[in-house]
Amino acid sequence: MARKKEQQTERLSGIISFRDDLLSQTEGLVGVDRVLVNNLIEKLCSVNEFVDELGGMVKRDGVMVEKEVGTVNNRHMEMVENPALSSYNRVVKVLADISMKVARVAKGAVSDEEDDGFDSF
Question: Is 110's pLDDT higher than 50?
Answer: no
Domain, as residue range, for 99: 2-107
pLDDT tens string 51-96: 999 999 999 999 999 988 888 888 889 999 999 999 999 999 998 8
Is 33 domain-assigned?
Answer: yes
Backbone phi and psi for residue 101, each to the nearest 5 degrees, phi listed first? -65, -40
Is 120 domain-assigned?
Answer: no
pLDDT tens string 2-28: 555 565 566 556 666 767 777 776 666
> Could you tell me which residue, 121 or 90, shows the higher pLDDT?
90
Q: Please, are residues 102 and 41 in contact by the beta-carbon 8 Å criterion?
A: yes
Is 94 domain-assigned?
Answer: yes
Question: Is 43's pLDDT higher than 70?
Answer: yes
Is 119 domain-assigned?
Answer: no
Is 36 domain-assigned?
Answer: yes
Residue 18: which residues within 8 A CB-CB, separation 6 or more?
Answer: 45, 48
With CA atoms as reference, report the closest residue to 80 among 70, 72, 94. Answer: 70
95 C-beta neighbours (distance < 10 Å), count? 16
Question: How many residues belong to the chain?
Answer: 121
Is 87 domain-assigned?
Answer: yes
Is 118 domain-assigned?
Answer: no
Number of folded domains that form the chain = 1
Is 117 domain-assigned?
Answer: no
DSSP strands (E only) in the chain: 64-69, 76-81
